[in-house]
A = this chain, B = another copy of it.
Amino acid sequence: MRPLFNKVVIVGVGLIGSSIGMNLIKRKLAKEVIGVGRRRANLREAVRRRAVHRFVGVQNFKPLQARLSENDLVILATPVREIIRCLGVVSSKPLVMDVGSTKSSIVKAAEKNRIRFVGSHPIAGTEKSGAGAGEIDLFRKRVCILVPSRFSGKMDAPKIRRFWGLLGSRVITTNAARHDRLLAVLSHLPHTIAYTLVRTVSRLVSKKECGQLAFGSLKGMTRVAESPPEMWHDIFLENRDLVLKGLDLYLAELAKLRSFLLKKDSARLLGYLRQSQKIRLKMK
Q: Which residues of A contact B (CB under 8 A)?
A: 123, 143, 145, 172, 181-182, 184-187, 189-205, 207, 209-215, 217-230, 232-233, 236-237, 240, 243-251, 253-258, 261-262, 264, 266, 269-270, 272-277, 279-284
Contacts and interface: CB of A to CB of B under 8 A. Distances in A.
A196 B209 CA distance: 26
A274 B205 contact: no
Contacts of A264: 237, 240
Contact of A195 (B211, B247, B276): B276
Interface of chain A, helix or strand or loop or mixed? helix
Tallying the copies of this chain within the complex gives 2
A244 B258 contact: yes
Contacts of A250: 196-197, 200, 254
Top 8 A-B residue pairs of the complex, sorted by shortest distance between their CB atoms: A229-B273, A196-B253, A225-B280, A195-B276, A220-B220, A200-B250, A229-B274, A185-B204
Given A200-B189, A226-B280, A233-B269, A182 B194 contact: no
B187 A215 contact: yes
Contacts of A190: 197, 215, 217-218, 221
